[in-house]
């Protein structure tokens, strides 16, 4: 292991740079999907009952970086203006610290969102390009009396949520001496998606907007202002496996005799859309859109291998009037959700990639935003379903996490669906960013009853209200 202590080292805090120990020197140019994301970091925290071994973690991380050279590289700007990652093994930041506080009993009724930044090593995204700024950071916090919090942050331009968790899972397996598939980093795979349709590429796209000059800046400013003004509050609740089974049965009953089928996730997504739509209480004729994020590796006809490591997220936006959303039964709304995901065909992905490549060549990629992102303040609820990601499979020699959490989200009407821990398998933890002005309404028992109308009597999970985005 290559771990170089820095000047920031004491009995309670130690900062090191972890390296693989060898550098390929490859320069990997980012794909249009990588560059579309921007240089923001994605933070995640994992809470363990038992204390993790920092020295062993650094050693296994070093070995894992051999297979993920982009993670220990640095972001560079090429002469033509495109961004690349130089795989020079400059390393990742690893901070290990101790605190005088005991491990909180976190869970859906006591989230970690308030004060979560204490468990993360912060990075300024404005200093990433052509700077000595790590693309991945680790902060290991040991709690008084035992237990550890593993806080990690990865630059979103190198990996989306699925790729991020593939790295974490690989690190976990490396730590335990288990094998795992080597990732693929060839961004040429993404460019090749556009080739068959490049001559017929459409000049516009249903799911991405080329903003007018100044509109993207205005949107970013609105997010920052919303953060400062604390306009959103995170609401968390748990749906048990039994509750979800009842919910799916209800959706399937609505479809009886039609030979149509929906999944548990379709039913849950539809249920959340209906309840949040009722909370929004928009006029009957208003259009309600649902932003659905999806990994297009599953829809690319094998053109993008499962082992590809990078950004492969697309989106669709099914919609209906507010009156329809209120009136249609759960099963019908779940079918609309399923149809939304089904829009992600190989042809759609190729056309989308060709559009983004053409916009890059025209110098307009920086002005593009997903349309659903622009509309989150207006008519769109965005749902990101992470329920199949291995948050609770990360065993670094001391068992799996008992809780996983992320910081509060800055934009309203954004929903994250996560799996539940090993001791409550098959459920879903739902994290929702809602306007702060609606918190008093949501605190009424009637809204807990709406969210958990499929739970057995007395078993409904309460709604937990976290700190506003800017509350730290």
Q: Over the chain (472 residues), what is each successive 10-residue block's mean pLDDT? A: 40 88 96 93 97 98 98 96 96 97 96 94 93 97 98 97 98 98 95 88 86 76 68 94 98 97 98 98 97 89 90 96 98 98 94 93 90 85 97 98 93 95 96 94 96 92 74 34
Determine how β-strand 380-385 pairs with β-strand 232-239: unpaired
CA separation for the pair 103, 429 (Å, rounded): 21
**What domain range includes position 341?**
1-183+228-345+371-472
Q: Is residue 340 part of a domain?
A: yes
Q: Is residue 448 part of a domain?
A: yes
Q: Is residue 155 part of a domain?
A: yes
Q: For residue 472, what pLDDT is reported?
A: 32
Q: What residues pair up with 98 in beta bridges, in sequence order? A: 142
Q: Is residue 214 part of a domain?
A: no
CATH at residue 464: 3.30.559.10
Q: Is residue 107 part of a domain?
A: yes
Nearest Cα residue to 333 out of 459, 413, 247: 247
Q: Is residue 114 part of a domain?
A: yes
Q: Is residue 353 part of a domain?
A: no
Determine how β-strand 414-419 pairs with β-strand 380-385: parallel
Could you tell me how many residues make up the chain?
A: 472
User: Is the separation of the CB atoms in 467 and 227 below 8 Å?
Assistant: no
Q: Is residue 193 part of a domain?
A: no
Cα torsion 198, 201, 204, 209: sign: negative
Q: For residue 471, what pLDDT is reported?
A: 35
Alpha-carbon distances, residue 370 vs 20, 83, 105, 316, 317 (angstroms): 36, 20, 37, 10, 10
User: Is the separation of the CB atoms in 33 and 356 below 8 Å?
Assistant: yes
Question: What are the structure tokens assigned to 40, written together?
Answer: 């923001």
User: Total domain count for the chain?
Assistant: 1
Q: For residue 410, what pLDDT is reported?
A: 83
């Amino acid at each position: 292991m290559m771990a170089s202590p820095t000047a920031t080292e004491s009995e309670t805090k130690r900062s090191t740079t972890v390296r693989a120990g060898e550098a390929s020197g490859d320069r990997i140019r980012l794909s249009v999907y990588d560059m579309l994301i921007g240089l923001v970091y994605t933070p995640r925290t994992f809470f363990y009952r038992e204390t993790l071994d920092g020295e062993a973690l650094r050693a296994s991380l070093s070995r894992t970086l051999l297979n993920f050279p982009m993670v220990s590289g640095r972001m560079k700007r090429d002469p033509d203006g495109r961004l690349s990652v130089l795989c020079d093994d400059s390393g990742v930041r690893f901070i290990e610290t101790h605190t005088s506080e005991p491990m909180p009993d976190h869970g859906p009724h006591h989230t970690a969102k308030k004060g979560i930044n204490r468990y993360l090593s912060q990075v300024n995204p404005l200093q990433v390009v052509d700077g000595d700024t790590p693309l991945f950071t680790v902060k290991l916090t040991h709690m008084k009396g035992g237990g550890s919090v593993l806080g990690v942050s990865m630059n979103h331009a190198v990996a989306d949520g699925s790729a991020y968790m593939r790295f974490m899972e690989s690190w976990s397996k490396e730590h335990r001496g288990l094998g795992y598939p080597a990732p693929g980093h060839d961004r040429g795979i993404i460019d090749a998606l556009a080739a068959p349709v490049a001559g017929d590429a459409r000049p516009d796209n249903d799911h991405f907007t080329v903003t007018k000059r100044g509109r993207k800046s205005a949107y970013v400013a609105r997010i920052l202002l919303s953060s400062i003004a604390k306009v959103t509050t995170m609401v968390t609740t748990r749906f048990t496996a039994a509750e979800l089974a009842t919910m799916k049965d209800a959706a399937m009953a609505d479809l009886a005799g039609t030979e149509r089928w929906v999944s548990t996730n379709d039913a849950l997504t539809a249920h959340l859309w209906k309840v949040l739509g009722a909370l929004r209480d928009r006029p009957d004729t208003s259009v309600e859109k649902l932003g659905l994020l999806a990994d297009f590796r599953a829809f690319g006809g094998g053109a993008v291998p499962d082992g590809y490591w990078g950004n492969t997220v697309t989106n669709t936006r099914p919609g209906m009037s507010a009156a329809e959303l209120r009136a249609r039964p759960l099963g019908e709304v779940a079918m609309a959700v399923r149809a939304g995901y089904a829009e992600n065909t190989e042809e759609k992905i190729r056309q989308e990639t060709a559009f983004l490549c053409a916009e890059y060549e025209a110098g307009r990629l920086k002005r593009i935003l997903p349309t659903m992102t622009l509309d989150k303040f207006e008519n769109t609820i965005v749902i990101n379903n992470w329920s199949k990601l291995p948050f609770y499979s990360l065993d670094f020699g001391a068992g799996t996490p008992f809780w996983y959490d992320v910081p509060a989200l800055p934009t309203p009407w954004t929903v994250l669906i996560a799996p539940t821990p090993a001791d409550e398998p098959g459920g879903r933890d739902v994290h929702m960013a809602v306007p702060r002005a609606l918190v008093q309404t949501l605190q009424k028992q009637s809204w807990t009853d709406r969210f958990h109308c499929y739970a057995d009597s007395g078993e409904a999970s309460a709604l937990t209200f976290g700190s506003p985005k800017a509350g730290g």
